Structure 1
Amino acid sequence: MRNDTLNDVINSIKNASRLGRREIIAEPAAKLIGKVLKVMQDYNYIKSFEVIDESRGGKFKIVLNTTINNCGVIKPRFPVKNENLEKYESRYLPAEDFGILILTTTKGVMSNIEARKLGIGGKLLAYVY
């Protein structure tokens, strides 16, 4: 059994992007993974995704849009205040305004850009650029 399903899906996306594949099947279809994929879709890192209910847990069919330079899961999931977001942006992203951090907040899963606009913090989940 897998311990970190979000990490498995993010690594599948990264490996498929490096190999030049445009479509992958990732499992299981958890709600948190779906919300992270929705944020990635909003910022055009993936073209689309859908849930395939074949069995218990289900699967995601993910269609990649462009080549992703790098993506990964942030462990441990650091709690971050809005004032400290810039520190983690400089740690995980290569340049300013290049890539996104994905975090979970009291308002749901969102990017660092949306969290900064709302003035809220949360726990870091992943980065994509």
Structure 2
Amino acid sequence: MTTDNIADMLTRIRNANLVRHQIVQVLKTKMTLSVSKILKEEGYITDFEEFEDKNKNYLLLCLKYHGQNRQPIISAIKRISKPGLRIYVDKKNLPNVLSNLGIAIISTSKGVMTNHKARELGVGGEVICYIW
């Protein structure tokens, strides 16, 4: 059992991308569900589905690839805020990931959102991860 479900989710996605798997299974929590919704909205995954197995809830994420060589849409995922070291930013210091080519997922008082939406709403929060 892992204590950091987000890091586990990101590692599973990273590993599945490396071997070009079509789907990846992650444990369902409120945070992983929110991150999955953001990944779908931003076009990093095609879809996700919830299912239950042996009284545990899981998410199946359908990864996205492009071209004949099936290059992954997600080039890199980096966990920023960890359970041992939380990283918070205010609305003035929201991160830019690769000059706004990537996204940062931020957990704010108004919910989990991307850095672009947090900038629009004028809120800061905990930086969960960078994706590009």
Which residue in the other structure is 1:80 paired with?
89
How far apart are 1:106 and its partner, in Å? 0.9
How far apart are 1:127 and its partner, in Å? 1.1
CA distance in 1, matches of 2:78, 2:61: 16
**What are the Cα deviations for residues 27-83 of structure 1, in whole angstroms up to 9, with x where unaligned?**
x21111000111111100011111111133311111012311100221233111010
The total of aligned residue pairs comes to 122
Report matched runs for 1:95-110 at 5 Å.
95-110=98-113
Q: Secondary structure at the match of 1:36?
A: helix
**What are the Cα deviations for residues 3-40 of structure 1, in whole angstroms up to 9, with x where unaligned?**
111101111101111211111112x2111100011111
CA distance in 2, matches of 1:77, 1:110: 17
Establish whether residue 112 from structure 1 lines up as the match of residue 112 from structure 2: no
CA distance in 2, matches of 1:47, 1:77: 30
Q: Secondary structure at the match of 1:41?
A: helix
Which residue in the other structure is 1:51 paired with?
50
Which residue in the other structure is 2:22 paired with?
22
Q: Secondary structure at the match of 1:58?
A: strand
CA RMSD of aligned residues (A): 1.2
Percent of counterpart pairs with the same letter?
30
Establish whether residue 34 from structure 1 lines up as the match of residue 37 from structure 2: no
Establish whether residue 7 from structure 1 lines up as the match of residue 7 from structure 2: yes
Q: Larger helix proportion, structure 1 or 2? A: 1
AA in 2 matched with 1:79: Y
Q: Unmatched 5+ residue regions in structure 1?
A: none
CA distance in 2, matches of 1:117, 1:18: 34
Which residue in the other structure is 2:77 paired with?
71
8 Å contact kept, 1:30–1:57:
no
Q: Unmatched 5+ residue regions in structure 2?
A: 66-71
Establish whether residue 124 from structure 1 lines up as the match of residue 123 from structure 2: no
TM-score by length of 1: 0.88
Which residue in the other structure is 2:68 paired with?
none
CA distance in 1, matches of 2:109, 2:99: 25
